[in-house]
Structure 1
Amino acid sequence: MIPDLPAPHHYLSIMVMAGMPGQSAFDVDEVVSTSPRDTVTVSISTAAAAQYRSLSMTSECTLQSDGRHLQFGSFLTISGHHPEFSVEARIPGLEFDLHFAMADRATWFVKGLPYDHLSLLGSFEGAIHTDDSALDVSGKGNIEYARCVGPYAVRNKLLPRTLKVPVDFFTYHVIELPEDAQILFCRVGILSQRLGDIVQHRTTSGAGDWRVNETSSDRTYYEVLEYEDVSRIDQGGHRMLLPRRFQLGVRGKLLVTGVYDTEPRYGVGRGYIWGYEAVVEMDGRTLRARGYSEYVDVRSAP
């Protein structure tokens, strides 16, 4: 993911989910044509173009066992070995070839059974083409990897909603700051209650890094200030009301106010990905920045 790109793109996202996780917020039952374990969903988007596809892992993907070559259909290839990776994508209206050089240190959100999730920060360079524009680009970007053990490890048939792990809210943000820094924010909810927040300020060098984990107090917060007027309806007929403006942060330490300014793209489980303008108040400074967001809210889903 890249949170800040020149117009007309503003951000870039590739979201691959290999196998359904058995969670309410992330299972997309209507795209499963073979089995939950075999189904891969791939979302590729910028503000200029987007594609969402489901594939069979066994018949439409090539996943090399050492991870050095991952191919999804004929439109996405991820190759390389840490710390260097190449990403090539070809979808209608958008093509890009990017090379990433990642820092040695990983940011671990969670580490240990039944869930691992890490994020790598690094630099990128390459080219992005649309039908009417071509851009040479460079900057900072993330490569992230997560894996989990879910109910489909035991049963490879679709579960009714009542038997899925009841994760029903998720939002994740990457906000780009000057001096090779980022703010990361993640909130997860279960059974309509906050499970926890993670807020992290990180740099490529590690200087000035800090992190706040919160599960019980209101020290960390996420608040939608304004929603869109009409709910979005996905390909399965599910409705979701998306935020237009929001705030997040750590009381007394960080305040981010975001206003979405790109079209939401379906593709993170049953939720959406898009970009926004942000005002960041931190360390006595006020900065203007760009952010990248993932948002899933199925708390009121039938």
Structure 2
Amino acid sequence: MMLKKLSATLVSVTTAAALCVGCSSSDGSGDTGPQPDENGITTIKLGVTDAGKKQWPILIEKAKAENINVELVPYTDYVTPNKALAEGQIDVNRYQHLIFLAQNQANTKDTLVPIASTEVFPLPLYWKGHDSLDGIEGQTVAIPNDPTNGGRAIKVLEKAGLITLKDNAKNALSPTPSDIDEANSKVAINDVDATQTAIVWDNGTPAVINQNFLQRAGIDPTTALTADDPKDASSEPYINVWVTRPEEADNEAINRITEIWYDPEVQVAVAEDTGHSAVTVKKPREELQKILDKLVDEVKANN
């Protein structure tokens, strides 16, 4: 995959507030990573794939009041933000779910860690001009071609009764198109780059589209024909998380940003940004790490 990175959009905010977030503690804990400058301002470089959303200006302003200067660093793909984080180009990112992070950990030497959860998004199937699955039999459905979203999309179609998996793949963590029993399925699959799913939808092809590209195409989330259930326990791998390097996991400023995320004003903006489809999740860091470790083991066992 060609990795692309947009020029960093620096959103600099300063304040004269007296609170010094991220100052070194006497025992040395929590003082790794970005530190306050001579003016008491701590700058955090935050990697995102949705820099245009309403939530960010609100979060940035609230961070400003606590002497935290947030610099949004936008990316247009799902691989580069982890690479940039591992290489120290950014301090934290917020764009991925746990199973995507697990795939990254299993296939690279990265040791990135989740430090807070945000929400779970349903993964829906859309078909332009249709309000039901009637007539979809015999169609070709577009799904994202990355392993995690692609596998999840296949599970969505399986649950809807549109495809059948081969016996040896019924419990697969992330089934692939080759795991589909085509003779006993109602639709065919075309796996395309995630950025193309909304484009083929616009051309009349049924498509499973994840949240970022759904919004960019202006698709109404309420027009989904079917989706998985974010509240179901099986959705744990798809909890979206804040991720950083292990040595910065206790940085006060970074962790304060993850707390500001739950501020009511930020959450209202998140709801508006997602068409009220996101389900907020609050899980302790330790629990997120346990889920991640389990997923990494499963990914490695299936590689």
TM-score normalised per structure 2: 0.26
Q: Which has the larger radius of gyration?
A: 2
Whose strand proportion is higher, 1 or 2?
1
**Could you state the TM-score of these two structures normalised by the residue count of structure 1?**
0.26
> Whose relative contact order is higher, 1 or 2, with alpha carbons under 8 Å and at least 6 apart?
2
- More helix by proportion, 1 or 2? 2
